[in-house]
Structure 1
Amino acid sequence: MIRNFIKTAFRSLLKNKGFTLLNVMGLALGLAACLLIVFYIADELSYDRYNTRADRIYRVNSDLKYNELTTSYAIAAPPVARALKQSFPEITEAARLTPAPNVRVRKANENIQEYKVVYSDPSIFNIFTLPFIAGNPATALNEPNTVVINESTAKKYFGRTDVLGQMLTLSNDSLAYKITGVMRDMPAQSHFNFDFFLSMTSSPNSRDNGFNHFNYQTYILLKPSADPQKLEAKFGSFMRQHLNTATFNYNKFAGSGNFIRINLTPLTAIHLHSNRQRELGVNGDIGYIYIFGAIALFILLIACINFMNLSTARSANRAREVGVRKVLGSSRAFLIYQFLSESILITLFAAVVAVLLAWALLHPFNQMSGKALAVTCHTVIYLLPALLGIVIIVGVIAGSYPAFVLSAFRPINVLKGKLTGLKGGSLRSFLIVFQFTITIFLIIGTLTIYNQLNYIRHKNLGFKRDHVLIVKNVNLLEDPKILKAEIKQLPSVANATITGFLPTSDNRQPANLSGDGNTTSFMAELWAIDADYLNTMGMSLAAGRDFSEQMKTDSSGIIINQTAAKMLGYSGDAIGKKVYYPDRSGRKIACQVLAVVNDFNFNSLRDNITPLAMVMAPDWRASMSIRVKPGNLAALIDQIGKKWNAVSPNQRFEYSFMDQDFDSLYRAEQRTGNIFLVFTVLAIFIACLGLLGLAAYTAEQRNKEISIRKVLGASVTTIMALLTKDFVKLVMIAIIIASPLAWLAMQKWLQGFAYRQEISWWILLAAGLGSMAIAIVTVGFQSVKAAVANPIKSLRSE
């Protein structure tokens, strides 16, 4: 019986090749897009889950409110880790990490830049699942000047992994580190990924600066029975106990409405739910997971709606077939099974094509999304049952309407011609409205994302990022000032500055600032710059003067931004006032305010501007930023490269452009916009396929009516308007429904940016007019084809 159903269904599908092709193509595209997005979402949701105790690992965060400015950090104070473990029995282990910037590792006569280097407490290997190939993880980082490297790094420097006891020289501090462990490469699905773990006791900033100075990524491991919420509720009294010291009155600080708090973020929530300052990397966003999940569902729904619309429309032409089958003895159950078999068979064909299509498109999708997705045995295990379920569900839903309605026809009425069509117009109208509502929603979302990205690219950030060439690692030169002086002499160079603290880099140095007559300090950024910095960066002063090499007293001066001036209480006149910050030994340094620089964005535009202070001092992590004049940039880079090679022949000449570095901060948003655009175009295309097929069947059903109208003198335009107007009405209803829904959804997405472009009216208008044009062009093509056909062919049988 089943064999007969499949054979009959297969013959019926071959007989209607156009119908079959449209359905298979639409469903295959929808399922392929859905599969790619599911791969992407599964990868994002898998972050940090490689840790065997991931559900018990938490990161300790810090929140600071001072002078009405609240800042959220992904770091904690140096003593927090030890104090938490000592104070709370629920915590079995605690560990700290702090990145080591601008590290060069010596290999023969070459110094190689390494970006994935971190100082770490020894207990980090007791918290995270980082398997060792060689060495003892319990003791690997106990001694100073020891390092654990991954297997790729071992092969890179030694060509093998049995390297215990070997030495690596870090040129930035000229120290030799002993390799005490080799671990497996960390999975890509981790919120941090380092190649070198240096012993924390080797860090130049390992001194305990108190509970109000945040600079360490801090992780804790809870006991299996511990309740993180109850633990977090105890942190308030814990912080008050440790913050009230002889030099800091926290009760007075909190009495003014300020606070310093710590809280926990589950390890598995960091990648998608955390967007704090001083993250270890660029995290994802759970909002994008919801967006992409909705896109996958929408595309699949659009494809299924096409299938249902075409199935119900085509069913009208099969009424006589049903009548004949019933006269010949077919039962209603047999007919239902037959129609469902055809529907499931089409869905099965589409699923097979979708799998092949998704596999073929996986590489370009990886390039677009920045992923390294691959089809593995694990993928196949969950993919096959999911696909089989989709095939059955889609096939049954799409085939249920024609199956149950057609099978209920009375054969005598059908064969007498009393049933000339199928009463499915209301359902098809609803499905078209639903389909175009989704399409318009996606169009508005795409336009909003691109509008925000365009706003980011062109926003005045308070500095000029164009025409700035950044030469890296000048700290390795014997005297970088000599190279700077030579480069400034080049005619195509406007100015140059030496510092690693740039608005577009991740080099940051936290410090506690305080002012005259104010014992309360607050967290700020402290940057070491030279006298050419502000001019090279194109920054402007709100008050005061810039640093000057001729003014020797400027070494004890300081420039603060407007936000820092406000928090210090110097909003009126800050020039000449004192600002205090601790040096590495904890000694308080007093500086005189020389200028207030206008606020500029040195964090992501998702965050508000935070306090910043700048002092004139050499930066050991330095790079050289060169403002170039418009002209032959390639020739200038060649000139600078020659000067570099003359003073440092054994070091690679590496450079970047500041505007490109800025764009990389928003690479996730750019990739999201590209993915959104591609899948929106795909959704529109699938919707057009269905609309084209539906218009063709509508024209076929009204073929004789069109012919009679033509004989009576109707023009092509009149007939085209007749066939198009019903579809246009449905699209207008979809516009009315989709516009407010899309506005609300994208408004929520924009709330994630501190600086954003509100949704403009033209976006809604463009989406509405665009969808209307798409519908008119799609239906109009079929309408014109029907309108220009010879009426004699249609009326010949009358």
Structure 2
Amino acid sequence: MMGNYFKTALRSFKRNKGFTLLNIAGLTIGLAVCLLIIFYVFDETSYDRFNSKGDRIYRVNSDTKINASITSSAIAAPKAAEALQLNFPEIENTVRLLSDEEVRFKKGEELVLEKNTLFCDPSIFAVFTLPMLEGDPNTALAEPNTIVVTERMAEKYFGTTHVLGKVLTRVGDDNKSTICRITGVIKNLPAQCHFEADCLESMASQPIASNQNLAAFFPFHTYLLLKPQADYKKLEAKFPAFLKKYLDFIDAMEKQGDYIKLNLTPLYDIHLHSNRANELSANGNIQYIYIYSGVALFILLLACINFMNLSTAHAAGRAKEVGIRKVLGSPRTGLVLQFISESVLMSFFAMLTAVLLAWALLPAFNQIAGKSLTVTSTMIGWLLPAVTGITLIVGLLAGSYPAFFLSAFNPVKVLKGQTVAGVKGSRLRSLLVVFQFAISIFLIIGTLVVYNQLSYMQHKSLGFNRRQVLLVKHLNALNKQGAAFKQEVLHLPGVTSATLSSFVPTGHRRWTNYVSANNNVHQTEFWPVDEDYLRTMNMSLDKGRDFNAALSSDSSAIIINQTAARAMGFAGDALDKTIVLGDNQKQYHVIGVVKDFNFNSLRDNVSSVVLTMTTAFERKKQGDRPDVLAVKMNSDNLSALLAGIEKKWKSFSNNQEFDYSFMDEDFDNLYRAEQRTGKIAALFTTLAILIACLGLFGLAAYTAEQRTREIGIRKVLGANVPDLVVMLGASFLKLVCIAFLVAAPLAWLFMDKWLQGFAYRESISVWVFLVAGLGALLIAGLTISSQFIKAAVANPVKSLKVD
């Protein structure tokens, strides 16, 4: 019986090629988008799932409030891991990770920069699942100056993974060499890991790891492995009493409304649900998973709606077939199964095409989404059942209404030609068209808002000028000659100024400290800079003066931003006020107030920052600590200037790698997630409009075909072509207008909530809605006009001869 159904379905497809192609095209696009999003969601939700004990691993976070300064961080004090395990028996093990971002190892005569390096406790292999190919995981990192490398790093330095016992020479910031013995080789970390590491160094090599102050602010990422059946929420509830046991000033802080708190984040939640300061790497966002999944579902629904609309609009062509089948004794159940089988078969053909299309589009989608998605054997294991299930669901969903609609025809009325078919009089079909275009208009508005916000962020005044600023990195490789290198660069034509510092507004390095002012403690950014910093960054002073290297008193001078002045109670006049640095109690006097500048993402408000001047003498004494040279340029020949700076670099660094970036590019990278969202939204919007237009095109064609005789009569009675086109298209354009009225307020509510995630944002302009509404009308008009013009210009004599 089913074989007969499928044979009949194939004959129907062959007779109605245009109808079949439109339906398969719409379903193919919808299914291809669905598959791409499934790949994306699967990748994003797979982070850290490779850990066999992952459901018992939790990260310790720190939340602090000091006066107006509130910090939510992904780190804890060095002492926290030991103290927590000592006090809570439900903790089975702990491990600390400390990022060592810029490590240089010797490879022959070359110094190679390694950015994915972590200091780790020996227990890392007992907590995380990091399969070791060589070495003993129990002792690999027990001693100082021992390291464990990945397969990738072993191949890079030695050309083989059999490197147990070999050594690598580590060159530190002070250019002192340390011999590191390789005690283990592990498999490369999966891409779905919330931290990256090619080299694990022994924590015993890090002096600050033994700091016993539970309130110390060091960037240690601390993880707990709880015992089976332990409840992490109950453990969290014990943390306040735990902190009071070790920190006797907690009660006094709480009386002032301040606090220090610890809390836990499950390992599986880190990538998608955590966006704290000091994350080990850039995390994803669960909201974008919901958004992309919702859009994919809507696009698939658009394709299904197309199928329903075109099938019911095409009902007139199959009415006699249904009537004859019923007269010959075919039960309604048989007719329903016939039409459902046609729908499932069409869904099957569309899925085959969609799989090929998704596979072909995967490289382009990877580039847009910033992923490296591939179809693996693991993916195929769940993909085949998923594809089968989606095919059946789509076939049943898209074909159910047309099947029941067609099978319900009265055979007597059908054979007398009294059936109602096509678009005219179908409220459900009109509702579905409204739904289609409401989704499309919603996506158009959302895409315009995203791009408008991106444009706003890219053009907003940040309080500094990021244009034509080159950042030369890793100056610690110059063996204490950073200041001399700066002077040489200043002599190059096209260089207007330069500054040495480890802290730039678009950088990731931050130093948070505590200062005392007006008898209150304040948490603030603390940046050592040189005397040329404000000039090079083009920052403006609100009050006071800039640093002066010729004044010895400026070694204890500071410049604060306007936010810090307000937070410290210096809103009237901060000049000559005294501020005490918390860690060494050194006193500084304020010589200037710089206008607020954004040194974080525009998602966050400007926070307090304090600038201190590091003199040339102090840089020499400290081993030339600044590791970035920011160069302000004014040159028409940028390539020649870059070549000149690189030549100077190599003369100072003994031909080491020249690593640089442009500040405006670094700024744009802060909003990579939003840029990707904009591109993906634009892609999905285009596809949604394309699917809606395919359906509208088919409906217009069948409407014109149904009203052929009416058009002929109107032409004979004197109607002209424009009047006929307007008459035929008015009902469709009216539906688009209704769709706009439905979509516009929903889009405003949704996008306004999205914009709330930015401290600095552009309001949703009226022009966004006007462009979306007029654009949808124009697209719909162009889609249906070709069919209606074709019908309107046809010879009325031939039209009146249509049966």
Match of 1:219 in 2: 223
- Asked if residue 649 in structure 1 is aligned to residue 625 in structure 2, the reply is no
- Correspondence 1:376-455 to 2 at 5 A: 376-419=376-419, 421=421, 425-455=426-456
Match of 2:526 in 1: 526
Paired residues in the alignment total 789
Match of 1:668 in 2: 673
Give the partner amino acid of 1:448.
V
Deviation string for 1:500-554 (max 9, x for gaps)?
A: 2111111222323223544x4x443322211111111111222222222211222
Match of 1:494 in 2: 496
Distance 1:252 1:573, change over 3 A: farther
- Asked if residue 458 in structure 1 is aligned to residue 455 in structure 2, the reply is no
Deviation string for 1:391-445 (max 9, x for gaps)?
A: 2222223323332233233322222223353687111111101111111111111
Output the CA distance in 1 between the equivalents of 2:526 and 2:576: 19
Q: Secondary structure of 1:645's match?
A: helix
Match of 2:202 among 199, 203, 207: 199
Is the 1:141–1:148 Cα contact (8 Å) retained in structure 2?
Answer: yes
Match of 1:185 in 2: 188
Deviation string for 1:445-494 (max 9, x for gaps)?
A: 11111111111111212211111011122221131212211211223111
- Correspondence 1:226-375 to 2 at 5 A: 226-244=230-248, 249-375=249-375
Deviation at residue 373 of structure 1 after TM alignment = 0.8
Q: Secondary structure of 2:429's match?
A: helix
Deviation at residue 621 of structure 1 after TM alignment = 5.0
Output the CA distance in 1 between the equivalents of 2:256 and 2:746: 42
Output the CA distance in 2 between the equivalents of 1:387 and 1:166: 49
Output the CA distance in 2 between the equivalents of 1:552 and 1:375: 64
Output the CA distance in 2 between the equivalents of 1:27 and 1:16: 17
Give the partner amino acid of 1:662.
F
Match of 2:586 in 1: 589
Output the CA distance in 2 between the equivalents of 1:183 and 1:381: 27
Match of 1:138 in 2: 138
Output the CA distance in 2 between the equivalents of 1:420 and 1:149: 74
Output the CA distance in 1 between the equivalents of 2:142 and 2:552: 44
- Asked if residue 514 in structure 1 is aligned to residue 516 in structure 2, the reply is yes
Match of 2:599 in 1: 602
Deviation at residue 390 of structure 1 after TM alignment = 2.3
Output the CA distance in 2 between the equivalents of 1:250 and 1:596: 32
Q: Secondary structure of 1:588's match?
A: coil
- Correspondence 1:65-76 to 2 at 5 A: 65-76=65-76
Is the 2:77–2:214 Cα contact (8 Å) retained in structure 1?
Answer: yes
Output the CA distance in 2 between the equivalents of 1:214 and 1:336: 69
Is the 1:101–1:621 Cα contact (8 Å) retained in structure 2?
Answer: no
Consecutive unaligned residues in structure 2, runs of 5 or more: none
Is the 1:213–1:523 Cα contact (8 Å) retained in structure 2?
Answer: no
* 724-733 or 169-178, larger mean C-alpha shift: 169-178
- Asked if residue 786 in structure 1 is aligned to residue 788 in structure 2, the reply is no
Deviation at residue 282 of structure 1 after TM alignment = 1.0
Is the 2:527–2:611 Cα contact (8 Å) retained in structure 1?
Answer: yes
Is the 1:362–1:373 Cα contact (8 Å) retained in structure 2?
Answer: yes
Deviation string for 1:260-307 (max 9, x for gaps)?
A: 111111111111111111111111111100100011101100011001
TM-score normalised by structure 2 residue count: 0.95
Is the 2:336–2:403 Cα contact (8 Å) retained in structure 1?
Answer: yes
Output the CA distance in 1 between the equivalents of 2:494 and 2:70: 43
Distance 1:250 1:593, change over 3 A: farther
Is the 1:71–1:610 Cα contact (8 Å) retained in structure 2?
Answer: no
Match of 1:720 in 2: 725
Deviation string for 1:689-730 (max 9, x for gaps)?
A: 010001101111111101111111111111111111111111
Distance 1:589 1:135, change over 3 A: farther
Q: Secondary structure of 2:181's match?
A: strand
Output the CA distance in 2 between the equivalents of 1:47 and 1:620: 36
Q: Secondary structure of 1:141's match?
A: coil
* 640-649 or 782-791, larger mean C-alpha shift: 640-649
- Correspondence 1:755-770 to 2 at 5 A: 755-770=760-775
Distance 1:180 1:524, change over 3 A: farther
Is the 1:147–1:181 Cα contact (8 Å) retained in structure 2?
Answer: yes
Is the 1:111–1:650 Cα contact (8 Å) retained in structure 2?
Answer: no
Distance 1:320 1:176, change over 3 A: same
Q: Secondary structure of 1:61's match?
A: strand
Output the CA distance in 1 between the equivalents of 2:95 and 2:37: 36
* 324-333 or 457-466, larger mean C-alpha shift: 324-333
Output the CA distance in 2 between the equivalents of 1:441 and 1:420: 33
Match of 1:746 among 739, 744, 751: 751
Is the 1:312–1:424 Cα contact (8 Å) retained in structure 2?
Answer: no
Consecutive unaligned residues in structure 1, runs of 5 or more: none
Output the CA distance in 1 between the equivalents of 2:199 and 2:612: 31
Output the CA distance in 1 between the equivalents of 2:181 and 2:799: 90
Distance 1:89 1:424, change over 3 A: farther
Deviation at residue 630 of structure 1 after TM alignment = 4.1
Deviation string for 1:551-600 (max 9, x for gaps)?
A: 122222222223333333333333223323355xxx43332223222222
- Correspondence 1:698-709 to 2 at 5 A: 698-709=703-714
What is the alpha-carbon root mean square deviation over aligned residues?
Answer: 1.8
